[in-house]
Amino acid sequence: MDFNKKNLPDLFQGSVGDLIKSFDSFFNESMKYAGHYFSQPISDLTCYETGSNMVIEAELKNCRKEQIQIYMLRNGQVKVSVENISSTTAKNDKDEIILKNQSVQKVERIVVLPCSPGTGKIKATFKDGLLRVIIPKREQAETIIEID
């Protein structure tokens, strides 16, 4: 069987080539509007202790203060939630809507605190894409447990 490399491009002309072009066009056009589905608003989250506080810091790219919610949960857990609601509309030359896309993206991260939170006021700030939550520690005295 003789294989001729010159005939190979002929395979992609005609109906098979049109089919491949249709697939390429579909995926290229679809991916233009799908980029925000793959980005994560909470990219880096750390928790550390200072002398009398626990601090949670989260880098929240392209977020506004109104999108962020912080919840103090039971058992020393803190939930950081970011919700993004977006809408995209594309029109043609005749001002007809050819694409309308609405999406809601909600990302949550739960942080288990290294020790019990105190009863003091919890403070949160958001500046330049950095969320900082300061939680006072509960003062705990060391206790000796008697063995029966």
Q: What is the mean pLDDT of each run of 10 residues along the chain (148 residues)?
A: 52 60 61 51 82 91 90 89 87 86 87 84 93 88 85
CA angle 15, 18, 22 (to 5 degrees): 140
Residue in the structure block whose two tokens are 């043609």: 92
Residue 62 host element (H or E):
none
pTM beyond cutoff 0.75? no
As given in the structure block, the two tokens for residue 11 are 């395979």
Residue in the structure block whose two tokens are 């058992």: 75
pLDDT at 23: 60
Strand order of the β-sheet with 97-112 is: 68-73, 77-91, 97-112
Q: Which residues pair with 107 in a beta bridge?
A: 82
Q: Compute how many other C-beta atoms are within 10 angstroms of the C-beta atom of residue 63.
A: 19
